[in-house]
Amino acid sequence: MNISKQSSFLLMLIAYLNFSCSNFQNEKEFHASLRFEKVDSVRINYLGQLNLMDINPDHKRVLLFNQMEGTFVITDFEGQTLSSFTKIADAPDSYGSFPLAAAKFSEDGQKINLVSNTGLFEYDLEGNLSNSKKFAGEKSTSFSGRSTADSEFYDLGDKTLIKAVETWGEYKRNTPEFYDHFLLLAMIDNNTGEINRFMGLEDDSIYKNGKGHDIADMMPMVDVKEDKIYIVVGKDTYLNVYDLNPPYALLQRTHLPLTDFKQNQGEDFAKVDPNMIRPDMSAGRISNVKVLDDYVIISYFQGYNDQDKEEFDLISNSQEFTAFSLRMKDKYPKYLLLLDKEGNKIKETTVPDGFNPTQFMVRDDHLWFMSNLNEEIEEDFWTVYKVALKAGQ
């Protein structure tokens, strides 16, 4: 290479490096300026507890569920109740005992699709049964029971994906075999009602550390986006990304950069009561995982510090628990962790005051949060917040 060519090459290389550095700096500044901003809200007048199940922005509909009464409530975006109905009674059009996942509006907004402990059901907005498919076999299923009533299911055409944790089975949770055979998800054949459970724990999961873990600490948080399954398993501080198609290959496993996360390590097998559900409420826990555009959003509670945990462990009655919880409420805010699709941390912020860190979803390129339960006074309304991820001041 002659001197002239060498000079030209060096100039091109310098220009390229300057361009790349400039782009990198611009991208860092853009990410640093991202923020969660409330852009709208829906106030729903209702006395009683509600879970947020679905939002249909095109038809301006909100689907909620009173878990205590088994009642579905449908409102418009003005907060007016359009209909409500209950279908848990022993009747021909009942879906069974409880939903296995949050119900969803159909694409045209005129039906509600539901996965229950007995099968797949479709109702119109007045609660009339339109269609149903019972699960194959004689037994109903109770995958993780009522704890899944505010978790999404995913319609994949002729299949339906749900999370499917079994609390009790062939193996006891005070044995290694329980964790070796533990399964997280199920794929339902919509035509036959057949259920195929799949997705075990990774070998380096905390649940395979030779100790016993509470089932409530093992519930997976799941989202599906662009033929990928995004999943965090309870208190396990990893984001796993799997191919949505069999054999569901692990594409990515990223350690989550959580701030001061107090991870419960489990109990010695000899101390574990396999028949008791007793989660460690003082430890850190991950509440939800959602994918929005090019980002992964994870909500979590970091857990109590050592001093507060000692006080928590000494609580002996419900009055002490209530008083302690109120004192801790503002001391330990919930967090939203924002990652890019590769699992790199972009930023972290506290969950806005009044937002429920567990009940939120992505619809119409926005996040939709249910309001938090007011633990100090009983309110006769709920609020659903529409939230955008925005850049700039």
178 burial class (0-12, 13-18, 19+ CB within 10 angstroms)?
A: buried
First-to-last alpha carbon distance for the chain, in angstroms, is 50
Strands of 46-128, DSSP E: 51-56, 61-66, 71-76, 81-86, 104-105, 111-115, 119-124
Residue listed under structure tokens 């991950």:
286
Find the mean pLDDT for residues 83-109: 90
Find the mean pLDDT for residues 371-382: 79
Residues forming a β-bridge with 215 = none
Cβ 375 vs Cβ 330: under 8 Å: no
pLDDT attached to residue 374? 73
pLDDT attached to residue 177? 97
Mean pLDDT score of the chain: 89
d(CA 201, CA 180): 7
225 burial class (0-12, 13-18, 19+ CB within 10 angstroms)?
A: middle
Find the mean pLDDT for residues 298-318: 95
d(CA 301, CA 334): 5
pLDDT band at residue 274, thresholds of 50, 70 and 90? Answer: confident
109-167 pLDDT per residue, tens: 999 999 998 999 999 999 999 999 999 986 667 676 555 567 899 999 999 999 999 88
* Contacts of residue 282, Cβ cutoff 8 Å, sequence gap at least 6: 262, 303, 304, 308, 309, 312, 313
pLDDT attached to residue 362? 97
Residue 22 sits at φ, ψ, to 5 deg, of -65, -45
